[in-house]
Each structure stands twice: as structure tokens, then as C-alpha cells.
């Protein structure tokens, strides 16, 4: 023997602080009375403490200090329990601290302070916007313009019909080209001409693009 037991008084091991050595021994190791951050006290062997195997009174079943989960690094446990697991303070790569239950970390449900899902949402939104832009110009046609809804400032109240020098003039614009469909004494006739042109020009277009929905009254 001859080797003096190490004095651990006041030293911290994880959540435990060694208070005083007891008379008990575990093999040759001294059993210490310790106080845990949770408020409870417990006994731990000097070997368990110094080797890093014993870090708390048992209140923290799984110590994940320093473990990484996505962008998060577990910093320290809190006293809270949520979804039956310990809530941990985590530091996100973006610099933000957040509180996450252990179960959400180990299950891979939470991987950031929230910055990741915000970025993913923004990426998704960007993709959606690009897809919409792509779809709206098919074969040089702006699909959103293929509509039977008249402009709000149109006097005739029928899309593609305007009142011109005592007559109703029908027209249709397709793929950047305006087609004149004639002048009519009644708005009904002008509208009929416009509808016929829609069926011919747009019908063909929508038939060859079945993925697009036609805005039809
Ligand atoms: Zn404890
Ligand atoms: Zn973050």
C-alpha cells in the first residue's frame, strides 16, 4: 500500500461534487459522499469519479454532453423532463442555444435550433417558385393569360371583346400574337366568335399539354 488516497474534496465530476470520503471501500477505491446538481446526494467510488464513469447521482440516465446531433451539440442537461426524456441545452452551429428533449435528439427529429427547417422551407419555396415560372411559359405561352376572365377595366365585361365605334370587336391574343375576330353588332355574337377562337387555339394547346388546367367558365 503506502499510496495515499487522493483527496477529491470539492472537485467536480460532471454533475457531482465530491464532499467527503466515507469509511467504505470498493476494492481499494475510496467511496466518496457526493452532491449532485439535482440536489440529491449519492456515494461514488474515487475510481468511478476520476475515470469519468460516474457523472451524476443517476438522475441523468444518458449523458450526451458534447455529442452532436445534426447542427446541435449537447451542452448540459436541464432539470426539465419532456416526452419522458431529459431536456438538454444544445448549441446550434449558427450560434443559437436551444432546449431539446433527449428523445428528439437521438431519434433525429430535431437537428437544429430551427434554422435548418427555415432554410429547407426557403429552398422548397424557391423550387416551387421556379417550377411555377417554368410552367407558366409553355411553348412560349403564358398560361396564366389564357383566361376567360375579362380585365376589370373592360367595358364590354367579356374577355376578348371591346366596344369600338358602335360595334363589338372580338379578338384573341395567343403566343404573343393578337388575332382579330371581326366586328359584331351584338355583344353575344362577338362573345361567340371569341369562344370559338378560344376552342380552336387554346383547345389545341391544352390538348397537347394535358398537365395544365384550363381556366374555363
Ligand atoms: Zn442528480
Ligand atoms: Zn441554428
DSSP letters along 96-120, please? -EEEEEHHHHHTTS--SSSHHHHHH
Q: How confident is the model at residue 2 (pLDDT cuts 50, 70, 90)?
A: very low
Question: How remote is the CA of residue 200 from the centroid of ligand 2, in Å?
Answer: 55
Cell, residue 59? 438522475
- Rounded to whole angstroms, the Cα distance separating 178 from 206 reads 19
Long-range contacts of 176-181, Cβ-Cβ distance < 8 Å, separation of 24 or more: 176/140
Q: Which ligand is nearest to the CA of 61?
A: 1
Question: How remote is the CA of residue 57 from the centroid of ligand 1, in Å?
Answer: 4
Q: What is the pLDDT of residue 175?
A: 73
pLDDT at 1 over 60: no
CATH class of the region 139-208: alpha beta
In this prediction, residues 147-166 reach a mean pLDDT of: 73
Q: Which ligand is nearest to the CA of 79?
A: 1
Cell, residue 62? 444518458
Kind of pairing between the strands at 97-101 and 85-92: antiparallel
In this prediction, residues 34-54 reach a mean pLDDT of: 93
Q: How confident is the model at residue 182 (pLDDT cuts 50, 70, 90)?
A: confident
- Comparing 204 with 132, the larger pLDDT belongs to 204
- Comparing 158 with 46, the larger pLDDT belongs to 46
With a CB cutoff of 8 Å and minimum separation 6, the contacts of 111 are 69, 70, 71, 72
pLDDT at 152 over 70: no
Q: Please provide the average confidence, as pLDDT, over all residues in the chain.
A: 83
- Comparing 133 with 196, the larger pLDDT belongs to 196
Burial of 27 per CB tally in 10 Å (0-12, 13-18, 19+): exposed
Q: Which ligand is nearest to the CA of 34?
A: 1
Question: How remote is the CA of residue 63 from the centroid of ligand 1, in Å?
Answer: 12
Please report, for the chain, the start and end positions of each structural domain, with discontinuous segments joined by +. 12-51, 62-138, 139-208
Q: Answer for the pair 156, 187: CB distance below 8 angstroms, yes or no.
A: yes
CB-proximal residues (5 Å) to ion ligand 1: 36, 38, 40, 56-57, 59
This prediction's pTM:
0.46
Question: How remote is the CA of residue 44 from the centroid of ligand 2, in Å?
Answer: 37
In this prediction, residues 81-108 reach a mean pLDDT of: 92
Q: Which ligand is nearest to the CA of 38?
A: 1
Amino acid at each position: 500500500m503506502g499510496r495515499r488516497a487522493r483527496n477529491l474534496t470539492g472537485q467536480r465530476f460532471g454533475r457531482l461534487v465530491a464532499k467527503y470520503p466515507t469509511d467504505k471501500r470498493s476494492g481499494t477505491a475510496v467511496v466518496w459522499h457526493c452532491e449532485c446538481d439535482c440536489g440529491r446526494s449519492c456515494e461514488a467510488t474515487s475510481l468511478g469519479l476520476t475515470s469519468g464513469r460516474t457523472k451524476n447521482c443517476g438522475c441523468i440516465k444518458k449523458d450526451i454532453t458534447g455529442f452532436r446531433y445534426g447542427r446541435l451539440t449537447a451542452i448540459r442537461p436541464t432539470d426539465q423532463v419532456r416526452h419522458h426524456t431529459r431536456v438538454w441545452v444544445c448549441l446550434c452551429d449558427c450560434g443559437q442555444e436551444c432546449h431539446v428533449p433527449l428523445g428528439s435528439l437521438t431519434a433525429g427529429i430535431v437537428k437544429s435550433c430551427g434554422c435548418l427547417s427555415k432554410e429547407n422551407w426557403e429552398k422548397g419555396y424557391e423550387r416551387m417558385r421556379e417550377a411555377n415560372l417554368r410552367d407558366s411559359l409553355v411553348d412560349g405561352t403564358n398560361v396564366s393569360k389564357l383566361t376567360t376572365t375579362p380585365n376589370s377595366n373592360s367595358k364590354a365585361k367579356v374577355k376578348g371583346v371591346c366596344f369600338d365605334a358602335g360595334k363589338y370587336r372580338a379578338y384573341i391574343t395567343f403566343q404573343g400574337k393578337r388575332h382579330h375576330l371581326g366586328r359584331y353588332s351584338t355583344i353575344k355574337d362577338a362573345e361567340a366568335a371569341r369562344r370559338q377562337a378560344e376552342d380552336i387555339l387554346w383547345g389545341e394547346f391544352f390538348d397537347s399539354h394535358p398537365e395544365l388546367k384550363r381556366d374555363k367558365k
